[in-house]
Amino acid sequence: MTSMSRARVARRIAAGAAYGGGGIGLVGAAAVGLLLAEVRLAKRQVGNGATPHVPQAGGRYGHAYATPGEPPLRLTMLGDSTAAGQGVHRASQTPAALLASGLAAVAERPVELRNVALPGATSDDLDRQVALVLADSTRVPDICVIMIGANDVTHHMPATRSVRHLASAVRRLRTAGAEVVVGTCPDLGTIEPVQQPLRWLARRASRQLAAAQTIGVVEQGGRTVSLGDLLGPEFAANPRELFGPDNYHPSAEGYATAAMAVLPTVCAALGLWPADEERPDASRREGFLPVARAAAEAASEAGTEVAAAMATGPKGPWALLKRRRRRRVSPTEPTPTAHAGPGNPSPSGV
């Protein structure tokens, strides 16, 4: 699918989500019968060796930066098993912990991390997760990071419904005063046991949902970072190193790669990134584009950020597309706090 056609479909999905349109599917019904054998085979191979344990990464990071009278930054993670960090054994290896450690180092302030992500969650669980986050109006996060979408594809959730729930979550968090960064749907075509034609369809569905998610998020005042096939080349070269033991979830190295891509956008959303980095850099093919086109380009290139720029333009809302330089983060273990655990953890699911 070309970038322009992906932009058109993503715009249609986002419009359906915004105005209560019908269920635009991600995979054509005619293809489902041909895929049943592939799905059964993939399910037998994916998930073997999965560990039910999800490390509890909530707590305080960056104690060395503590200053009397200055409160810590509050970072909250929402989403599915990727946000929860399923597949690794130590809290410091989860993407939430890596982001908290990196944010503390950049801000030179402690960061209080709370993780309400639920393994197995689809986008409709974000309603519950946001309610948990906003239950205490005195502890609204400074920034929320959401990673969601893979289960929407594998559970055949209509894209319009998926985007509607995500956009609603972003709107509620932004209205409460939190900045929001969304890691969009990863490219399920990189999962090693999945064969053709399921691999091709999974990739197409993943990228289409990611583009539609981007439009919905940006229109609500959030920012997105495309996860896409961020780990694709590394998976192809070192699948045993960057996949976890279940051949589905990332390993510690895989999560670190994703966290390095998301961290600059988290810092930029909080005004912590250098001012000269906020201007478009033509040498990195950055610039202002209609939001649907920016969303389609981001879905095609992992690690790309999209943020709102102008509410109106010749072709509707415009967005700033950025390809930020990634920053390596050093893992640290959390110091437990009152909000250390996830909202309602589950050992099962994706």
Q: Is 246 among the catalytic positions?
A: yes
Q: Which residues pair with 223 in a beta bridge?
A: 181, 307
Q: What share of the chain is helix, strand, coil (3-state, %, to 5)?
A: 45, 15, 40
Taking the C-alpha atoms of residue 85 and residue 341, their distance in angstroms, rounded to an integer, is 13
Using an 8 Å Cβ cutoff, are 302 and 25 in contact?
A: no
Using an 8 Å Cβ cutoff, are 201 and 282 in contact?
A: no
Q: Where are the alpha helices (DSSP H) in the chain?
A: 3-18, 29-45, 81-84, 95-107, 126-134, 150-154, 159-176, 198-219, 232-237, 239-242, 252-269, 291-300
- Among residues 125, 152, 249, 339, the one annotated as catalytic is 249
Q: Is 249 among the catalytic positions?
A: yes
- Among residues 81, 92, 162, 168, the one annotated as catalytic is 81
Taking the C-alpha atoms of residue 256 and residue 145, their distance in angstroms, rounded to an integer, is 15
- Among residues 89, 246, 281, 346, the one annotated as catalytic is 246
Task: State the residue for tokens 């790309």.
Answer: 304
Active site residues: 81, 246, 249
